[in-house]
Amino acid sequence: MKDRKFSGRSLTVISAAAVVVMVLITALSAFLFQRLIDKSLEGTEKTEIKYYSYHFALVAPDYDDPFWVSVWNAANESAGGMDAYVEWVGRELQEEFSLTELMRAAIEASVDGILVKPDGSSEMNELINEAVERGIPVITMLSDALGSERQGFMGYNSYDLGLIYGEQVLKAIEEYEAQVLVEPQGAVLKNDPLKVTVLFDNESAVNDQNIILSGIVETVESSGSQTETSISIVTTDNRNVFGAEEAIRELVVNPLSAPDVLICLNSTNTLCAYQAVVDYNRVGSVVILGYYDSEDILGAVKKNIIQATVSVDSSEIGSGACVALYECVVSGRTNDYAVGSLNVITSENVDRYLSANKKAEVNS
């Protein structure tokens, strides 16, 4: 009996000791695990989840386009003061989706409002109408959706943009005429017409781009220039930057298609054209007329690789559209049509814009 009692007591002691050891091991493991977490987070800030009263959606092309990145940032900056957040739909996804598919996603997410750059399709107009019918206000940007139920538009006058590009084409013609031989009667000796190519993109409304083209053509045709000019269009695939790069590279390199003047209607094509003429030794042979005023584009203007670029105030577009959307959501007020400013930047005034950009970086 004594042996049995001793044996039972021993088992109890051993069991108790085992429990204590397990508790100590668990506590030590937890301590070490927390130490590892703390170590891994050293030098990083704690992430705070912020909640907003309003969730807006931005439906726009080309997530790498400097112009649209700036529009999105400006919209979010304004939204922050209105207890709202602007989500760029699809930006975090690897798979590519069309603008209409992204618009559908925004509607199904039941966001509080939508900022969209329409692609000119009837399907997009139908989606805008559906959003409005479901109580989601819609503001269009840069391209309008004529005939739709959208509540407002924020952009510029496409025809005015065409006139601006047309004036720059005339300057390119003047420079060309100054370099070629001229007969005593004043007729320019040139076998082929001066080739002007306007780059359209498949993510923008064709109607808006045609209006820009009309402004260019009318300006050139009414100038009375002695130089015969041929104006054509080439459409690039702007669903990804590689498609645009390839199309512009082939255009610039091929002696049969290489233009004398290349007009770019978005910042992605402007940067691709700039890179192509540099990479393939075509600087001076192709006159580039660009779009937007990013740091790289302004640098190319300063180097005279880009003759001129048209500055569209992306902050004005993003902020103005967001404010219009907020007012529509909160009070039902709408501003049907708001036009932003267009400015021409050349080597003569580019330093002013470069300085302004540097000041903005310092203050941000």
Q: What is the DSSP track for 187-203?
A: -B--SSPEEEEEEEETT
230 and 322 both lie in a single domain:
no
Specify whether 140 is located in the same domain as 176: no
Please check whether residue 210 lies inside any domain of the structure. Answer: yes
Contacts of 197 (CB under 8 A, 6+ apart): 231, 232, 233, 234, 251, 257, 259, 261, 262, 263
- Tell the burial category of 40 from Cβ atoms under 10 Å away from its Cβ (0-12, 13-18, 19+): exposed
Distance between CA atoms of residues 362 and 341, nearest Å: 24
Is 321 inside a domain boundary?
yes
Q: How far apart are CA 157 and CA 44, in angstroms?
A: 46
Q: How confident is the model at residue 73 (pLDDT cuts 50, 70, 90)?
A: very high
Instruction: Provide the number of structural domains found in the chain.
Output: 2
Please give the residue that has the higher pLDDT: either 49 or 223: 223
pLDDT the model gives residue 215: 97
Tell whether 102 and 203 lie within a shared domain.
Answer: no
Of 280, 245, 325, nearest to 64 by C-alpha is: 245
* Residue pLDDT, tens place only, 29-43: 444 444 444 544 455
Task: For residues 168 and 287, state if they share a domain.
Answer: yes
Rg, C-alpha atoms of the chain: 30
Is 162 found in the same domain as 150?
A: no
Q: Of 301, 304, 287, whose CA–CA distance to 172 is shortest? A: 287
Question: Is residue 126 domain-shared with residue 166, that is, in the same domain?
Answer: no
Same structural domain, 324 and 208: no
Whole-number Å distance between alpha carbons of 43 and 233:
53
Residue 61's domain comprises 54-155+315-340
Q: Is 8 part of any domain? A: no
Q: How far is CA 173 from the centre of its chain?
A: 31
In a domain, 41, yes or no: no
In a domain, 42, yes or no: no
Which domain CATH number covers 263?
3.40.50.2300
Residue 76 contacts residue 105 (beta carbons within 8 Å): no
Whole-model pTM? 0.78
Find tokens 């393939």 and name the residue. 280
Cα–Cα dist 104/59, whole Å: 10
| Domain match, 143 and 197 both | no
Query: Is residue 70 domain-shared with residue 162, that is, in the same domain?
Result: no
pLDDT bin (cut points 50, 70, 90) of residue 226 is: confident
Q: Identify whether residues 177 and 111 lie together within a single domain.
A: no
pLDDT in tens, 93-110: 888 899 999 999 999 999
Query: Are 148 and 125 within 8 A, CB to CB?
Result: yes
